[in-house]
Structure 1
Amino acid sequence: MRLMIFGAGFSGLAIARALVGNCSFAGGTTRSHERFAKLEAAGLKPFVYQGGVPEGDLAAALGDVTHLVMSIAPDSDGDPLLDALSAERLKQIMPQLEWAGYLSTVGVYGDHDGGWVDENTVCKPVSKRSVARVAAEKGWIDLAERAGVPAAIIRLSGIYGPGRNALKTLDAGKARRLIKPGQVFNRIHVSDIGGATALLARERLGGIFNVTDDMPAPPQDVVEHAARLMGVEPPPETDFETADLSPMARSFYGENKRVSNIRIKAAGYSFAYPDYKAGLGAMWQQGTWKG
């Protein structure tokens, strides 16, 4: 396997750590040289990519790539790599490509009043960022189909892990216990993003997969559990309707659903951290929660 990860950030680096042992070459992109050391520590050869058709050393490396992971979120101008490619150009740049994975979000489902959704649920995105994700998903599926390459659309729920979790937020005095009756969210430990993506890549599986935990839960429950682990008092309850929140933070609460992960399990993946209690508990016990 020869791997390239476009956008080797929090999730991309976890994927790298899960896959580099299977790779004869593994590369990753970032927007500047400042993050090269982090990519190298995860076993990736770093490249700068800021959009458009890949050039120079990056283009040369892509000539032998067999597995592509796209982990760059679309912006107001669209998907930076997708918009630069056609099926013909994809074949020219990556003639050896055997599989592509696109990291998306469960936000594409929109609001379902707390009901269950799965990969067959019709997408009805609410936010502009989720609308852009749906467009990018469709674009990558179409591009891969025309290029004759299996593509996995990997829909992620709220990501947490070492350095990004309720324990660290609580320790920093920034945790909030917002109460909105009936509201639930799914979550996913970053290590399981790596593990699930690695499985799909190794097996060259295409299709849509929800990569999310087993326990959709109210957000205040996560804060309370973190406080119990740390042996501290949780922050006071705050009513969502009167809370001082940024427009983006408030928009997350406009979508309420429970997301099924049956399909990725059927593909053979077993979650290391099937719920937030397992994930937070392991980080607290191992002392990795600070990152």
Structure 2
Amino acid sequence: MQTLALPIFPAGEFLLQKNRFRFASPIPSTFLCASYSRKVTVDGCGEGDRMCVLGMGFSGRYIGGRLMQEREWNVSGTCRSDAKKKELNKMGIDAFLFDSTKDRLENLKSLKEATHLLLSIPPAEAGNPLFHSLEKLRDFLGNGNLRWMGYLSSTSVYGDCGGALVNEDYPANPMNESSKARLVTEKKWLSLGNQLGVSTYVFRLGGIYGPGRSAIDTLLRKKQLTSYQRMRRLKRFTARIHVADVYEAVKASFDVSKSGTYNIVDDNPASRAEVFAFARNLIEEKWAGQVLIDESREATRLDSASKAQVRKGEKRVSNVCMKTQLGVNLTFPDYKSGLLSILNSYGE
């Protein structure tokens, strides 16, 4: 049997080479920006569009890389560790250490220079710390440079909908503190954009997946599932979106002048069990004997109370507005096309 050595990274891409996996960037190789060259003025500042991403996580990093590669934008962003900062700098992203719970906005020079601002920092239970001084933030951003604001939120703000199909007009009823904080942040973000006279967008994302962060990667890592992962398997519907299509939605909004809130999900709110069964079959067809985790048996360990709890929050999420108003054509309209692309990116 082929032996695969899988290093564990938070959001990496695994490439099979000579019977082993090699870690690569979570952004496909065509979007690596370590040698990216940008226009520079005499004082060292870049020209043109400038995206600042507050919270360079999985999605923020991908979006920034694509903007640099496709549009030659200047991209900056924040992170919370020296290791992450070095990683982002190698990609060509101007990265800054920033903790939204204690650091001062004045330290973020790139924020004041930004023409586009994307917020991707997970909210604290009391709401996003950036908004504790809304007036100060408004004054800091109101210098005339900013033209666009976006916030990566979550479909979790809808709460338990009994499996109903929900669109952006459906009343939000978040069930936990994190989701409640996201809804508060949405409202403040839209209010701030309105005060600044800037086109402002809220993107309610389904579960985000992509290279290094998918059912395929979970199964190949051969780690036992967490209790939370086992619980999620029992959901009938799970909204999800490939990170490449998150980028497509963000990019499309640049050409839409009307501010608004949009669900960013694919066409198939399939269950986690269905997705993992498909991922298992893909792996077995390509690398027989590599999947050791039996997810279906893992789920049986849950007690009846846990199974009842996990059913809460059920909903199917409509993406009609994303398609008709933003004009997004999904690259990966369902989990099958997305997972197949991820598997193929890992080579033979």
TM-score over 0.5 for the pair: yes
1:195 equivalent to 2:253? Answer no
The 2-side partners of 1:179 and 1:149 are apart by: 38
Partner AA of 1:54 in structure 2? L
Distance 1:159 1:179, change over 3 A: closer
Quote how far apart the aligned CAs of 1:212 are: 0.6
CA 1:45 to 1:252, structure 2 compared with 1: closer, same or farther past 3 Å? farther
Structure 1 position 65, deviation (Å):
1.1
| Change in 2 beyond 3 A, CA 1:40/1:142 | same
For residues 34-88 of structure 1, the C-alpha deviation after alignment (integer angstroms, 9 at most, x for no partner) is 21133234432111111254123x2x322321110000011124212222332x6
Quick check: 2:235–2:272 contact (8 Å CA) kept in 1?
A: no
Secondary structure of the corresponding residue to residue 63 of structure 2: helix
Hey, what's the Cα distance between the residues in 2 that align with 1:250 and 1:39? 42
Please tell me whether the aligned partners of residues 62 and 94 of structure 1 are also in contact (alpha carbons under 8 angstroms): no
Q: Which amino acid aligns with 2:334?
A: D
1:15-164 paired onto structure 2 within 5 Å? 15-20=63-68, 21-51=70-100, 52-56=103-107, 58=108, 60-86=109-135, 89-95=137-143, 96-164=145-213
Structure 2 unaligned spans of 5+: 1-48
- Secondary structure of the residue aligned to 2:254 is helix
Q: Is the 8 A contact 1:179 1:237 kept in 2?
A: no
Conservation of the 8 A alpha-carbon contact between 1:101 and 1:201: no
1:208 positional shift: 0.3
Residue 264 (1) aligns with residue 322 (2): yes
Give the counterpart of 1:277 among 332, 336, 340.
336
* Residues 72-106 of structure 1: per-residue CA shift (max 9 Å, x gap): 011124212222332x6424345111110001000
Q: Which residues of structure 1 form unaligned runs of 5+?
A: none
Residue 267 of structure 2, aligned match among 204, 209, 214: 214
TM-score, normalised to structure 2's length? Answer: 0.74
Counterpart residue number, 1:235: 294
Code of the aligned partner of 2:174: P
Structure 2: how far apart are the matches of 1:186 and 1:114?
A: 11
- Counterpart of 1:207 in structure 2: which amino acid? G
Q: Which residue of 2 aligns with 1:225?
A: 278
Alignment CA distance shift 1:14-1:127 (3 Å): same
Match of 1:9 among 46, 52, 57: 57
Greater C-alpha Rg: 2
